[in-house]
Amino acid sequence: MDKKQFFLGMVLASLIGGLVAVFGISLMQNNQDSSSNFSEKQNTSFVNWLNDDRFVVPEGINFVASAEQVTPAVVHVRSTVTMGNRQGGVDPLEEFFGFRSPRGEAPPRQGRSSGSGAIISADGYIVTNNHVIENASKVDVTLQDNRRFTARVIGTDPTTDLALLKIEANNLKFIPFGNSDEAKIGEWVLAVGNPYELNSTVTAGIISAKSRNIGILRDESNLQVESFIQTDAAVNPGNSGGPLVNLNGELLGINTAIASRTGGFSGYSFAVPSAIVKKVMDDLLEFGAVQRGLLGVVIRDVNADLEELIGEKVNANRGVYISEVNEGSGGAEAGLQKGDIIIGVDGFDTYSTSALQERVARKRPGDTVEVTYLRNGEEMTTTATLKNVSGDTKVVIKEIPKTTEFEGVIFEDLSASIKERLEIEGGASISVIENDAWEASGVKEGFIITKIGRTKILNGDDVIKALNNYKGEEVTILGVYPNGQRSYYDLDL
């Protein structure tokens, strides 16, 4: 074969390859909307491929290519939260309605929370921190090109401080999930977000440590999972919920916290690893609630203080000490006992409680894990079936509240958790207000109605009955905001 034939063959091969790629892209994008998890959603689009042939990570450490790829997929998240401003005194309505409210209480103020988010699919799904949108009556999302959307909260998980949002948009740039397991200490990373309202800010640093537990998350059931990636990339207020990416432009984590005594960056920041992010997002997308698989053991780190604390010899220098095994749990059924020291799960080392929690948090109830542990210094292995917090393997489906509508105002029934938290018997939350009289009264979205006139409100149906009964009259509406602030409003029906 002469050089001319060789050259023509190469050109022909390139043309055929290009046509196949174009056809493949078109075919896969048409299947995008039917996906039920983010692996499928991200695999059906090629919009995030780097298009710079000169980009080679080992040569030159090119921050530019990653930044250009990622910044269009980072959004500014602004949440509207109702805030109270209490003053002293007693209101005459207390005696009349049996309702405690301070005299001269200022009208509720609309507070705002600002953070960041990362688009993770072309059809508008966004991951952010739970604390960015917690208790929000409205969530606005602004894209890099200044388009603004009202976001819908698909689901939240306070135990990992993550939330999934949805905006009605298509063909968006998104950030593909990377493998946080493969991220190395010392590896370069970029943090992208909106610190101090400075949109699309990119900072660089290295991974300083992995599986960090810094004790910032709280959960009533003690199910919080902290196994952060620690970096020295500068992160400040407003970066929360933004992505931590590698130099390939892949999501390694969601920036969540900083180590600071001043409120500003002091050298270290912490991100939820992408392995947990992806699992939580897939759960929220499919079920609306996180499916948490539990081993059912009470644990603590093996360290220099453990022997003194428990008063007995520990035959290990590192690992996770089991101080209690819950009866009927997956761990108990697998034969784990108090005093065992877990050192691995599914072939991965788990020498700290955070590393063990991260491995188990990736699983759902009914999944099995292979647990490697030490008993009296001897290494052993067992297989455990994980269970949910109720002690079984059933899927937990998000409770979708019943809604009712009255003249442009939409009311939602309350979940059991909200009633328990606010210590109320019942009520109906206002989710949408598109009515001049209601807007003129000053009531805000998110307000929970517990009484209309003398009528007790337990759900949305009670609201509709009471409003119809008071039609044409002026009536006082009483209730509480999600932050616990009680208030009342006069409404002309």
CATH number for the domain spanning 260: value is: 2.40.10.120
Q: Are residues 38 and 61 in the same domain?
A: no
Q: Are residues 134 and 220 in the same domain?
A: yes
∠ CA 24-25-26 to the nearest 5 degrees?
90
Q: Are residues 220 and 173 in the same domain?
A: yes
Residues 6+ apart with CB under 8 A from 228: 211, 212, 213, 214, 253, 256, 257, 270, 271, 272, 273, 354
Residue 441 lies in a domain: yes
Q: Are residues 52 and 175 in the same domain?
A: yes
Q: Which domain holds residue 34?
A: 10-46
Residue 69 parent element (H or E): helix 63-70
CATH code where residue 446 lies: 2.30.42.10
Check residue 142 and give its pLDDT: 95
| 76 is annotated as contributing to ligand binding | no
Residue 3 lies in a domain: no
- Active-site amino acid positions: 131, 161, 240
Residue 462 lies in a domain: yes
Q: Are residues 379 and 407 in the same domain?
A: no
Q: Are residues 170 and 254 in the same domain?
A: yes
**Residue (of 400, 397, 448) closest to 135 by Cα position:** 448
Please write the tens of the pLDDT for every residue from 327-348.
999 999 999 999 999 999 999 9
Q: Is the pLDDT of residue 97 over 90?
A: no
Q: Are residues 247 and 310 in the same domain?
A: no
Check residue 260 and give its pLDDT: 65
| 303 is annotated as contributing to ligand binding | no
Residue 209 lies in a domain: yes
Check residue 15 and give its pLDDT: 58
The number of domains in the chain is 4
| 116 is annotated as contributing to ligand binding | no
Please write the tens of the pLDDT for every residue from 26-58.
545 555 566 778 888 877 654 444 555 555 555
Q: Are residues 103 and 218 in the same domain?
A: yes
Contact 479, 458 (CB under 8 A): no
The whole-angstrom separation of Cα 279 and Cα 291 is 9
Averaged pLDDT, 389-407: 82
Averaged pLDDT, 221-236: 87
Residue 74 lies in a domain: yes
Domain boundary among 357, 385, 413: 385
Report CA 462 to chain centroid distance, whole Å.
33
| 161 is annotated as contributing to ligand binding | yes
